[in-house]
Structures are given as structure tokens and as C-alpha cells.
Amino acid sequence: MADVLEQLRAALGDRYDVERLVGEGGMATVFLAQDRRHDRRVAVKTLRPELVASIGADRFLREIRVAARLQHPNVLALYDSGQAGGILYYVMPFVEGESLRHRLSRELQLPLYDAVRITREAAEGLAYAHERGVVHRDIKPENILLQNGHALVADFGIARAVDAAGEKLTQSGMAVGTPHYMSPEQALGADHADGRSDVYSLGCVLYELLVGQPPFDGPNTRAIMARHQMEQVPGLRIVRQSISEEIEDVVFQALEKTPADRFQKMSELAEILCDLEPTVATRRTTSRGVPAVQRATPRGTRATIISTPSRVAALKLGRGARFWSLAGLAAALAIGMAVWRPWITPGSASGLDTGGLDPRRIAVLYFGGEPGSDSLGYLADGLTEGLIGELKQVQSLDVVSKGGVAPFRGQSIPRDSIARALRAGTLVIGNVEREAGKVLVTVRLVDGASGADFERAGFELPAGDPLAAQRALAEKATGLIRERLGEEVRLREQREGTRNPEAWAAVQQANRHGKTGDAAAESGDSVARDREFAAADSLFARAERQDQAWIEPLLGRAALAYRRSRLAGDQPLEAGRWIQQGVGHVERAFALDGENPEALELRGNLRYWRWLLSLEADPTAARALLAAAKADLEAAVREDPAQAGAWATLSHLYYQDGNAVDVKLAARRAYEADAYLSNANVVLSRLFYSSYDLGQFPDAVHWCAEGQRRFPQDSRFVECQLYLLTTKAREPDVALAWRLADSLVALAPRSEREFQRHNAHMMIAATLARAGLGDSARRVAVAARGRPEMDPTRDLLYAEAFVRTLLGDTASAISALRTYLAANPQKRTAFAEEGSWWFRPLEGTAAYRELVGTGR
């Protein structure tokens, strides 16, 4: 194995620092490596020699390209693949977590809720792959990874190639799969094993999660395979009485010997597990006495939703697009944007868990400057943000982003309260002060749990060289953290930047003016806003002249132009002028670094905003503009998978394709990369509505609760509670529905209140229908229809069709949908191809098939 390691280091040294062996499996050997280009940890997997001999390099590289296209929240991504010195390898993210096997080894049996949820998430990832022609063929606990508690199905990279070479592998005596989880037809070497084989394997995994051992065992591989083919599956409830009959029946059907008797699609298994999940969760929460959803008390004003032209309001659904519920359309209205001022406020920290703070989670609070000294203020900001960036490169630390700490700047809040709000076990605080003509920098480490200082250091700022100060500060801070944690904390080599202190100072001053201008924009002071933004642009331009090889000033000018275009959104021509300027700045940035992820994100944002504003009149040119924006943003996240802002914009852009899975994936990647994005509330809202539209109600409950916890004053997280009452994840509490509706209307801008009231009342009608109060539901629904001029696209009738479906009023539901589709003919295709869970009971009726034009 040492030879393979040295071969990899020699062959891949220009791209990866291959560090050490971390594991071996039946098909591959795994090495931990550092991706030099993207500065991230990765897993490099090399195929075992006997597998290479059977598959062949060309087939492996050809087939693995298909697996590389899989992008799903529950599928581990594939970054790279190739051949090096006769070794076939592929590269995947290194997951900071554990495999399902590790958890099973520790716990033996999983709680019912966790077992069902993890299996459901794996089933959703597999269903996505099956729809694209990729069968895994080796599902087992080792190939299901757990990241933040969520399932990631791994090793599709081998699956496609192995699937293609299956006959040759069988002839060579090498079975594809693991005996304890192998379907009967796969054990026989059938070359036609399809997605139903994965259903069987996942059923074996679920059996083991519930019972603590696989359904069949034996002294050798042949004995185990024989038992899979011949013996009945042992009952689960004999071993564990808390398993319900419904769950046992699901396992039995997944483990039928004949593929035709199993779930015919993995999506069917995922769907029935999703249906079971709330009942398991309800049993769990009831036993623990967890209170029901509480009404959010409206305080302050509703967060502004950016108004955009009809292209956004009417979100196009082209061929192949998923049909969207009204909830999803409403969520898509706010694209959100990354600006200097975060949405989160210190007050939103209330209600956070106060225990178990991890000292490796670090929050660097903004350093204090000398009162009244603007020069020290920008220096303090620059040192703070530079230190955050430096520490973020240390793999063993979990560092809160700038957006997370910014709300606490200048606030008189106890340090232990800040630590609990950010869940940080260690705070880094500091000051920049003048003393006797010198500038002194002090840095202190604070224990998050107690708020007490336990380490401190200081140094004198080298005269006229803030860049040296930045590096000195990083070294001092890491030294203190090393003493705190008792382990090695190493800084990475500093990334290419400027060596010009004047240029660095100009950029810090520009950022400070930008933040001030943003605050003025929020307060409505357009004169101060324009003055501060102009000063920021002038300083960026100065820095650009002072160091023409530094990309940062160009990115700063482009970001500023984008911000100004967003503020001019109600004046499209003015916005277009700023968009054009921003693109010009980005193009000059590309001359310095053609693959810079921040530049790609900025150009993608500028292009997408131009498309949303309908500034491209020609339809063909508009389609090309949208495609170019999408390509830029996807390139940005390929270059840097932690580019949270690009993921956030993609989570909105993917609404244009009508694909809820992609929306959810992008939003989740954005939130995982930076939970303190300036538009984190919008990202959380998208996570809720995409889960809701996909019928993934446990996830919808989770994201709604997360939004309530972090943004208790945001109306989105009042609205999500109301929508949950329309699902089986919540009891149909009619009184709560009325209270939530009142809160929503009170928070809505005056111009939106009439529509918001009618829409909320439709959701109340749905809750009444679920509660069995049919007559009341019908009365409320009729009263909530509103005036056609208020609702020209007849969205309220669409919601009423949902109410009528719940009531079993099929003819009325079809009539409402007919009127809705007459007003929105472009959405008929989406109805025909995928439909919505709202109208699933109608899909079997001739009237529905005739309406949407499908013969299903």
C-alpha cells in the first residue's frame, strides 16, 4: 500500500497533496488528500487491481462521467477522475462525519425515527440516480455516509463502471455487491438487475437499522446468498416490539424475493417512508412531551420582499419542469442578495441551546478601534476579516463567518450570550489602539461558556505595513488557540494578494464606506447612500491603480455595482447601467484570474438580475442570458464548493427549471457553507418550500422550525407554520390557523395585504377540510376567492382546487384547475408530466387526465 501512496503522490502532486491511507473496501482504497487548487479536503479512491483488470481504464473513465453528473442532496458528489501510473482513481468530498456502519457499530439499533429518516433520504438519492439510468449495486451501511445527521449515498463512481462490466466481473469470480445486502437476482449474477435490486439492498439496510443485524447471516458468502434466495425474512417485531406493523410491512415488501413483488421504483419506497416519518416523529415527540408549534409573535416590520417584474412573479415552467404549488411560487419571489449588512440581528439569538459549546468552533468578533479614529477603524475591520479568512483555512477549526459576527459589532451584549448565540466555544476579541505614537494590537481568547478571558497577546504594528500586522495577528491567534486546544493548529500558506500597503488600506476603507452606504440605504437616506457608495468606488479605483495585479479592488467595484443595480430595481434602465458597469469590472478581473470563483459568482448574479428585469427583449437572447448566468454560477461552485452566495442564487435560478430537487440541493449547500449569509432567511425559506413541494414534510418541519428559531420576526416563518397545517406533519389546528393568518396579514405590506389575507384564508380552508369540517371549509374557500383584478393569474383558484381535492369535491377541483390553466396555459405541461402532491387524488380520474392532456 505504501507503493500506491507514493505513486499517487508522484502522479497527482500538482493537484493534490495525498496525505495518508484512511480506509479499504471491497472495490477501492481510500486516501485523504488536500485539493491544492480549491483548498479543500478530498477523498481519493483507487480501484483495486482485480477490478481494474475487469473494467478497463477506458470503460471506467467513460462510464464514470455519467455518475459525475449526479447532483442531489443525498448523493455524494464526484469531483474528478482519471488514470495515474496505471492506477484508476476518482475524487470525492471528504465527509467530516461518519458512515452509517460506524453509527451502527456504536449504537447497534437506531431510534425508529432516525432509521426511517435516514433510509428515506438514501432512497431519495437513489431514486434520483435511477431516473438517470444509474443503479448502485452495492448499497450497504458502509456506503451511506452521515453528514450533519443527513444521509449521503457514496460510491456511485464505481457503480456505473461496474454495472457496465458486470458480466466480465462475474466470470472472473468477483461478485458485485456485498452478500448481506445483495438481492437474490444479483447474487445469481443476473445481468438485468435493475433499480429494484437497490430497493432490496436498502430494505436490508433498514432491517439492520431497526433490528441490529442484517436479515440473513451465515458462515460464508454462499450460505448467505442461499438464505436470501430461499428463506423467509425473519419478523422484526419479535425482536423489537416498538416497530409498528406498517414499518414491518414496508421492510417485507422491499425484501420480496421476486423483483416484481417489491416496490417497482425507489421513489415509491421513499414516498411511503416519507408518509410514515411523521407518525414515527409524532410518537417520539409525544413521548418526550415536546410542545406543538407555537405562534410567532409579530414584532417590528416584515422583512422586505424585493418586487420584480412579471417574469419573476409568473415563474416560467418549461418542458420537463416540475409543477409548483402556490407555496413554492411565493417563496421564489425573493431572490435575496449578498450585501454588507446581514439580516440576522442580535435579538434573534434568543432561544438557542446553551450547553455543550465546542472550543473548536471559533467566533472572531470585530476588533475595537480608537473612538473617533476612522483610520484605526478600517484597520481594525481589515485585521478582523483577514483573521477570519486565515482561520477558516484551518481544517480542524469551525470558524463563524463574517456575516455571523457582524450583528454583534458595537453591541453591549455579554460575551457568553454572544457565544451561545453563535454556538461558539471560543471567542477571539481584540483592540487596535494608539499609544505614545505607536499602534498596538491586542488579541484575547474568551471561553464561550463562562465569558472569561484565559489567554491574551499583543504586538506593535509594524510602521506603515498593515499586511505584516495581519500575518502577525494570525500567528498570535493560532498560537493562543493551539494552547487552548492542546493540539497543532497550522496556518496555510497565504493566498496570493497584494504586497502594497496603500492598496490594502484603500480596500479596507472602501469596504467601510460600503457598509455605511448600505446602512443609509436601509434607513432610506438616498443622499448619504449615494455619497458613501461613490466614496467606496473611488477608493476601490485607487487601489486598482496602486496594484494593477490585485484582483480584490475589481471584485469590490463589481460587487458595489451589483448592489446599486439591485437598489435601482424599480428603475430597470438605471439598473441596467449599473449591471453593465459591474460586468465590465468583472471582465477585467477575469484578465487576472479567469477561474476566480468570486468573479464567476458576480458575473452570474449580474446576468441573472438582468434577465429577471427583462432587459433582454429578444426571447432567444433572453434564453441565452439565463443560460450564461446559470453556467457562471455553476462554474463558481465547481471552483469553490463553499461559495455560499453562488449556491444561494442558484437556489432561486433553479426555480426557472421548476426542479424542486435542484432548488433544495442548492439552498442546502448555501446554508451548510455559510449559515450566516446576509439572505439566510430567504435560503431557509427556500429549504422549507422546496421540501414542502416535494412532499418531504419532516424536512419541511425542520426548516420551518430553524427559520422560526433564527428569524422569529420574519413573516416567512409564520407563513410556513400555516402551510404545515395543510399537511399530515401537523394536526389540523383550526384556531392556530386563524391566529397565524392574522399575524401574516398584520406583517404584510399594505399593498399586499388583500391578496395575503385571501391566500391565508385558503390555507385555513384546507386546514378545516383536514379537520373534517367540510361545510366550514367550503364557506371560507368561497369567501377567499377575491376579485379577479386582484388575482389575474388565478392563483387563489389554484389553492381552492387543493381545498376541493381535500374535501373530495372532484368536479369542483377540476373546474377550478381548468380556470387556472386557462389563465396559465404554459403550466399545463408541468401538470401532465409530474403534477403536485396537492392533486395526487385526482390523477387517476379521467377528467384530470383529459384536462392536463396525459393518458396516465
pLDDT for 758-768, tens place per residue? Answer: 999 999 999 99
Q: What is the pLDDT of residues 337-386, one digit of tens each?
A: 444 433 333 333 333 333 467 788 899 998 887 655 556 777 788 888 88
Q: Kindly report, residue by residue over 148-157, the tens digit of the pLDDT.
A: 788 999 887 5
Q: Give SS3 for 685.
A: helix
Catalytic residue among 35, 138, 547, 693: 138
C-alpha 797, offset from chain centre: 32
pLDDT of residue 438: 76
Residues of the chain above pLDDT 90, percent: 37
Q: What is the per-residue pLDDT across 510-551, written as a single tens digit (0 to 9) for each?
A: 988 998 998 899 888 999 999 999 999 999 999 999 999 999
Catalytic, 17? Answer no
Helix (H, G, I), strand (E, B) or coil at 457: strand
Euclidean distance between CA atoms 458 and 559, whole angstroms: 34
Q: What is the pLDDT of residue 403?
A: 82
All three cell numbers of 701 = 418541519
On whether the CB atoms of residues 692 and 661 are closer than 8 A, the answer is no
- The per-residue pLDDT for 564 is 94
Distance CA 165, CA 185 (A): 17
Distance CA 510, CA 516 (A): 10
pLDDT at position 343, please? Answer: 31
**What span, in angstroms and rounded, lies between the C-alpha atoms of 404 and 413?**
15
Residue ranges of the chain whose pLDDT lies below 70: 1-2, 25-26, 50, 52-54, 63, 157-177, 189-192, 278-356, 370-375, 395-396, 436-437, 462-471, 482-496, 834, 854-856
> What pLDDT score was predicted for residue 296?
29
- Render the burial of 674-698: b for 16+ CB within 10 Å, e for the rest: bbbbbbbbbbbbbbbbbbbbbbbbb
Q: Cβ contacts of residue 655 below 8 Å, gap of 6+?
A: 315, 324, 328, 332, 663
Residue 388 CB-density burial (10 A; 0-12 exposed, 13-18 middle, 19+ buried):
buried
Rounded to two decimals, the pTM is: 0.60
Q: Is 530 exposed, middle or buried (0-12, 13-18, 19+ CB in 10 A)?
A: middle
Grid-cell match 458485485, residue found? 176
Domains and CATH numbers, the chain: 98-288 (1.10.510.10), 313-324+679-856 (1.25.40), 354-495 (3.40.50.10070)
Q: Angle at Cα 384 formed by Cα 381 and Cα 388, nearest 5°?
A: 140
